[in-house]
Structure 1
Amino acid sequence: MSTTDHHEQVLLLASALRIEVCKLRRRLREEAHIADVTPSQASVLSRLERDGPATASSLARAEGMRPQSMAATVLALTDAQLVTGAPDPLDKRQTILSLTGHCRTLIKASRAAREDWLARTIESRLTMDEAMQLRQAMALLKRLAD
């Protein structure tokens, strides 16, 4: 196979992989059941869970949002009792946002529901050999993602 042919095959593979990963992500999102949050709100919750407490301005920078948009997102999450704020001990003008215990419980239940759906789907749609192939492919997907 020539370099050009190889490159074209890789481009086709990349396109197909992107489509299937997006479909799987959408399907997992359908299984999430974490309140009624928008994708941007879910992204903020995910960042707070992953990175820990943060100010609205640092969240806005990290999420690539305007401060006004982040303020609206934080207000909605606060109203839904998913995040709470406390004064920054170093700068009383700032508020440190963190997930509420209620939100952590919802996230844990949501993650369990998605993993349960995925496990049931793997068991019902794949043979044992195919499941093992998927397990082997995980190492390759991890290398791509990291």
Structure 2
Amino acid sequence: MDSRDALNLSTATAIQVALGMLKRRTREAHMDGDVTTPELTVLAQIDRSGPITIADLARLQQITPQAMGSTVASLEKHGLVSRAPDPHDRRRSLLTVSGTGSDMLHSSRDAVSGLMAAALGESFTDDEVATLAAAAPLLERLAQSF
């Protein structure tokens, strides 16, 4: 293994550990009772993707369509997503986030973002915050790369 490969592996491990810790803390801060973390993740994906089929959603989340169907059914039961016929293929349904789902998603994000913003303000220098701001799009690109 050359030095670049070793650095890539070390960096990947450090990112994985840090994001795991961040994910656990985010889960702890998430207090929407009836909605599970996986359901919130799917709701956020629908929000980002716009109208989407269960099959496409399952592919993006790397789970089976059957498992995604169960998650979507729960979101529908809570009134957080809506299903409508695909105008291009009436055999398929498209999922969208309902008004209630959008409100819940944004309030959850706002709560977690508020906690993070407070932690950044209390524990990080301006330069460190700028570094994290520059890293955020790179982390998103990394997540989409594999």
1:132 to 109, 112, 127: 127
CA distance in structure 1 between the partners assigned to 2:68 and 2:8 by the alignment:
38
CA distance in structure 1 between the partners assigned to 2:36 and 2:71 by the alignment: 9
- Give the whole-Å Cα distance in 1 for the aligned partners of 2:18 and 2:95: 35
How many residues in Structure 1 have an aligned counterpart in Structure 2? Answer: 141
2:114 alignment partner, SS class: helix
Unaligned residue ranges in structure 2 (runs of 5+) = 142-146
- Identity over aligned pairs, percent: 30
2:65 paired residue number: 67
Q: Deviations over 1:18-57 (max 9, x none)?
A: 2122212221232233453334322321211001011222
Deviation (angstroms), 1:106: 0.9
Aligned-partner residue type, residue 67 of structure 2? S
With 10-19 and 100-109 compared, the bigger mean Cα shift is at 10-19
Aligned letter for 2:108?
S
1:79 is aligned, of 63, 77, 80, to 77
TM normalised by structure 2 equals 0.77
- SS class of match (2:71): helix
- Which structure's CA Rg is the greater one? 1
RMSD: 2.6
